[in-house]
Amino acid sequence: MENLRIDISNVYGFIPEEEILSLSQKTRKASQALENKTGKGDDFVGWVTLPSSIAEADLKDIEQTASRLRKEIDILVVIGIGGSYLGTRAVAEALSHTFLHLKKKTENPLILFAGQNIGEDYLNEMLEILEDKRFGIAVISKSGTTTEPAIAFRILKERLEAKTGKKKARELIISITDATRGALRTLAIQEGYKTFVIPDDVGGRYSVLTPVGLVPLAIGGFDIRALVAGAQAMEKRTLSDVPQAENPAALYAASRFLLYLSGKKIELLANFENKLHYLAEWWKQLYGESEGKEGRGIFPASVDFTADLHSMGQYIQEGERSLMETVISVKEPQTLLRIPEDQDNFDKLNYLSGKRLDAVNKMAELGTMLAHVDGGVPNIRIELPKLNEYYLGQLMYFFEKACGISGYLLDVNPFDQPGVEAYKKNMFALLEKPGFEEQSRKMKERLSSH
């Protein structure tokens, strides 16, 4: 069985190989701290052993719920924000037919996402689409109190109840939340929704392998056992006793950390398979929320190539030299398409006749890598044999483990997100939420003085 591979040889022109290797004690210590729960934020490292500890009974429970719901709905609306939706979206978009929504017949329910923004038109347009569709809801919130998903749920729940009646709606709503706390838990008990628990010791952005990701993905028809199996394989490959040179998570964490210290403050996650767009969104949250604190941290950004080579390419090649690039490359596409011969050859493309589109894509990737390295952008390459659940499981766990190690190398707590509260406090004050009277008064004073 092939595996995810990491290639850091295009970092060596910027950071000598020996220097990266000399970090191996530190990456091992960081990894041990994660595994032994002795580092910063140690009460949130339940995700480290999630793949190997998922119980068969829990998987069965998820699969049973999924198979019941799949018979009754055409659309599943996943309500959640941040870590409560990005993992599901990353996997679903990577593995779905790009034009699934335009297909006449699909064997799986279509997944739509709500509660990740407060756009009035967005939700109204979704309601319009749902009007004549059989739909269900997976409402996901660990705290059970996050404003954006709570608003979306209130609106969608009302619509579903109006459509099917309260009793039936209760069967079509699945809640995924904390074991004991939060408004969603209270409501779920009161209404009798089928409920799955988000473990206490797993934070939102590390939760894709909990019911947060597994339940909606199973309803959407994805192979969650393969996803877990991929993560299990990667859990073994990234254990602290695996030497750094053979340990993809340690290699990645060490390389990007040393690049950061050398002035490469921005990491671009690039793909040449645009189905990975939301994988990058998931990765940005994972790394941005884990590292960006105490005035430190690599800024995670992302690009879809080759499209963005025609918009961001100029800056990447010649702008400020504070970039590093991590490319996710998929070795083998799922389908095959060759470029046809054209007798007239007006477009002068006959030199490509008979070649697979993917062969052109791969040369674009290689050419881009060489150009960017020549232009001062170090390159880390991560190769997936294929896009499927198994390799996505490997990839996501790899990124999680490397992120934990990275946070410890940076000496921050990779499992909190105190900075997320700032906008919420202002918003609540502006909306005059009960309990925020004093902040509301100050906010009004501040705004009237402008």
Catalytically active residues, by annotation: 289, 310, 424
* Nearest in space to 202 (alpha carbons), one of 392, 405, 49: 49
**92 forms part of the interface with ligand PA5 (CB under 6 A):** no
By the 8 A CB rule, do 378 and 11 touch? yes
Work out which of 46, 109, 204, 378 binds ligand PA5, going by CB under 6 A: 204
**235 forms part of the interface with ligand PA5 (CB under 6 A):** no
Distance, in Å, from the CA atom of 404 to the CA atom of 89, rounded to the nearest integer, reads 22
- Minimum CB distance to ligand PA5, residue 225 (Å): 24
Site string for ligand PA5, 145-184 (x = CB under 6 A): -x--x-----------------------------------
**413 forms part of the interface with ligand PA5 (CB under 6 A):** no
- Minimum CB distance to ligand PA5, residue 177 (Å): 8
Helix or strand or coil: residue 356?
strand
Nearer to ligand PA5, 27 or 417 (CB): 417
Nearer to ligand PA5, 151 or 239 (CB): 151
**Residue 65 in tokens:** 């719920």
**290 forms part of the interface with ligand PA5 (CB under 6 A):** no
Nearer to ligand PA5, 363 or 420 (CB): 420
**116 forms part of the interface with ligand PA5 (CB under 6 A):** no
**404 forms part of the interface with ligand PA5 (CB under 6 A):** no
**83 forms part of the interface with ligand PA5 (CB under 6 A):** yes
By the 8 A CB rule, do 112 and 149 touch? no
- Minimum CB distance to ligand PA5, residue 382 (Å): 22
**81 forms part of the interface with ligand PA5 (CB under 6 A):** yes
- Minimum CB distance to ligand PA5, residue 206 (Å): 8
Nearer to ligand PA5, 149 or 211 (CB): 149
* Nearest in space to 409 (alpha carbons), one of 300, 325, 290: 290
Site string for ligand PA5, 22-41 (x = CB under 6 A): --------------------
Residue 229: CB partners within 8 Å, gap ≥ 6? 390, 393
By the 8 A CB rule, do 8 and 20 touch? yes
Question: Is the preceding omega at residue 306 within 30 degrees of 0, hence cis?
Answer: yes
- Minimum CB distance to ligand PA5, residue 415 (Å): 9
- Minimum CB distance to ligand PA5, residue 19 (Å): 32
Residue 46: CB partners within 8 Å, gap ≥ 6? 199, 200, 201, 202
Number of H helices and number of E strands within the chain?
Answer: 18, 10
**88 forms part of the interface with ligand PA5 (CB under 6 A):** no
CB atoms within 10 A of CB 359: 13
- Minimum CB distance to ligand PA5, residue 396 (Å): 14
The closest residue (CB) to ligand PA5 is 204
**378 forms part of the interface with ligand PA5 (CB under 6 A):** no
Residue 88: CB partners within 8 Å, gap ≥ 6? 78, 80, 111, 208, 212, 213, 216, 217, 220
What's the CA angle centered on 293, arms 426 and 177, to 5 degrees? Answer: 65
**216 forms part of the interface with ligand PA5 (CB under 6 A):** no
Count of residues in contact with ligand PA5, rule CB under 6 A: 14
**82 forms part of the interface with ligand PA5 (CB under 6 A):** yes
- Minimum CB distance to ligand PA5, residue 139 (Å): 10
- Minimum CB distance to ligand PA5, residue 194 (Å): 18
CB atoms within 10 A of CB 195: 19
Distances (CA, A) of 13 to 9, 255, 260: 8, 12, 15
**46 forms part of the interface with ligand PA5 (CB under 6 A):** no
Work out which of 27, 31, 65, 84 binds ligand PA5, going by CB under 6 A: 84
Q: How far is CA 392 from the centre of its chain?
A: 11
* Nearest in space to 24 (alpha carbons), one of 259, 276, 241: 241
By the 8 A CB rule, do 216 and 138 touch? yes
**372 forms part of the interface with ligand PA5 (CB under 6 A):** no
Work out which of 93, 289, 365, 400 binds ligand PA5, going by CB under 6 A: 289
Nearer to ligand PA5, 24 or 145 (CB): 145
**Residue 163 in tokens:** 């459509």
Residues from 247 through 286 that contact ligand PA5 (CB under 6 A): none
Helix or strand or coil: residue 78?
strand
| Amino acid occupying residue 320 | E
Distances (CA, A) of 441 to 225, 425, 446: 52, 13, 9
**Residue 139 in tokens:** 């409402």
**142 forms part of the interface with ligand PA5 (CB under 6 A):** yes
Site stretch for ligand PA5 (CB under 6 A), options 11-19, 197-205, 221-229, 386-394: 197-205
Q: Which residues bind ligand PA5 (CB under 6 A)?
A: 81-84, 141-143, 146, 149, 203-205, 289, 417
